[in-house]
Amino acid sequence: MSKNSLKAFLISLFIPFTFAFAQTSEPHLQNLHQVTFGGDNAEAYWSFDSKKLSFQSNNKKWGLHCDQIFMLNTKKPLDTTHIPQLISTGKGRTTCSFYMPDNRHILFASTHLGAENCPADPPPSKRYLWAIYPDFDIFVSDEKGKIVSQLTKEPGYDAEATVSPKGDKIVFTSTRNGDLDLYTMNIDGSNVKQVTFGLGYDGGAFFSPDGTKLVFRASRPQGEEEIKDYKDLLAQGLVAPTVMELYTCNIDGSDLKQITHLGKANWAPFFHPSGQKIIFSSNHHSAKGYDFQLFMINLDGTGLERITNESLFNAFPMFSPDGKQLVFSSNRNNGGTRDTNLFIADWKD
């Protein structure tokens, strides 16, 4: 069935929320369901009550030109003929949303104060580059899209914020010191503290289930040439995320440990509900580089296990707070397009 035929079929049925797949090669993922259909949908994160997701999308059929933040109630049928609830302003570019502890507000990063239009994409390059837009700041909105507070106001990039399961702290990435480091702040934006200090990109951090540790991705350029390249790119608001490993530390930055030594890009880490393992996305196994699968590893770096085997892109895994489900982004079942959609599975250890 063609992409257009498939989407027309789904819409004709007003298909709710459930598009299920038989799973034979991914035994941890039971009752897998697709919950978005078209565009690039990513960074979906659960509410504290495990009932809703916040996520970013650039679906052109929704009138979008770059990523904006939306809300999806996983306990209600998804009507594919309607656009989900918009949380961000619809202006600028957004990234990295996360539910607040009250299950009624969502934080996210946005460039809308810098300009209403989408900021320019990174310039053409022989290597993959991410833009570190200096206009990104972190905001909190209610579920109807009304901004209720701005948590960061420092010059430079402030984004990639997530909330502790304890509901008291936020971790985020900032360039306020001239490098890409992790910081924590109280839930209201006060008491900002720097957590990491090593040269390189520290980002995508999440708290452990008990709120005492962080897991994050990091680049650590070595030697004069690598260090110069990293600094030159950062001065242009760019970073090359092609070599990253996973680290953990206490929330004050102590007990810093490198968990993976796999090479290539290891990123999008999240703690297993036990707090003793990390699930993440990696292309370390790929000869050509573009084959990202989910893997799981123990906190001491042992026991590497592959979780996904379908399609060439699987990333942004997050366990629901109740530990029962996993949401992730994948380009499976996209009809040969470049679409990336959200999938939810019941998790089986």
Examine the pLDDT at 22 and tell me if it is beyond 70.
Answer: no
Per residue in 163-218, pLDDT (tens digit) is 999 999 999 999 999 999 999 999 999 999 999 999 999 999 999 999 999 999 99
Mean predicted confidence (pLDDT) in 64-77:
91
Q: How far is CA 255 from CA 212, 247, 248, 252, 317, in A?
A: 11, 10, 8, 9, 25
DSSP state of 275: S
Q: What local confidence, expressed as pLDDT, does residue 182 receive?
A: 98
Q: With pLDDT > 90 as the criterion, what percentage of the chain qualifies?
A: 87
CA 129 – CA 239 distance, rounded (Å)? 6
- Positive or negative, the CA dihedral 160, 205, 76, 21 is positive
In our burial notation (b when 16+ CB lie closer than 10 A, e otherwise), range 108-123 reads bbbbbebeeebbeebe
> Residue 266's closest CA among 294, 305, 239?
294
Full set of structural domains in the chain with CATH:
42-293 (2.120.10.30)
CA 232 – CA 314 distance, rounded (Å)? 30
Model confidence band, residue 78 (pLDDT cutoffs 50, 70, 90): low
Please name the residue that has the structure tokens 């946005």. Answer: 110
**Those residues with Cβ within 8 angstroms of residue 293's Cβ, 6 or more apart along the chain or in another chain:** 281, 282, 283, 285, 306, 307, 308, 309, 314
Instruction: Give the burial class of 4: count Cβ atoms within 10 A of its Cβ; 0-12 exposed, 13-18 middle, 19 or more buried.
Output: exposed
Per residue in 248-278, pLDDT (tens digit) is 999 999 999 999 999 999 999 999 999 999 9
Examine the pLDDT at 14 and tell me if it is beyond 50.
Answer: no
DSSP state of 234: H
